[in-house]
Amino acid sequence: NNLQAQLASVNANPQQAVDRQTKSLIATVGSIIQLPTNETPTVAEVSDAAQAKTQSNFFASAENGDKALLYVNAKQAILYRPSTNKVILQAPLTFSSQAATGSPATPGTTTTKR
């Protein structure tokens, strides 16, 4: 069974599965808008949109399941909605002395870091 083989592969090497998902997400979003090419983003999934909205204006239009692509070197943040295949927001990623705006450590998000 192909599904069992895929599951065994994911269980054997979860980081490789995350890498594949990240590459697929970058390819999908990159077909919609121009993305920075000199770095791999930190990817965060919105798991609690209501809480994320209270933490940062970047997540004001977020829904559960949205993906945030954070390009630290390019200082760019992108909010992408897989359910509609749309970029919801593209914004500058700014840093304060405390934390990054739209930081992947924001409560209400799940971070996948490469």
pLDDT > 60? residue 8 = yes
pLDDT of amino acid 47? 95
Bigger pLDDT: 13 vs 29: 29
pLDDT of residue 106: 47
CA 17 to chain CA centroid, nearest Å: 15
Instruction: Check residue 41 and report its DSSP letter.
Output: P
Average pLDDT, the chain: 83
Give the highest mean pLDDT range of 16-25, 36-45, 101-110: 36-45
Domains of the chain, by residue range, sit at 2-112
Contact between 67 and 82 under an 8 Å Cβ cutoff? The reply is yes
- What's the predicted TM-score (pTM) here? 0.73
pLDDT tens per residue, range 61-77: 999 999 999 999 999 99
Tell me, rounded to whole angstroms, the distance of Cα 3 from its chain centroid: 25
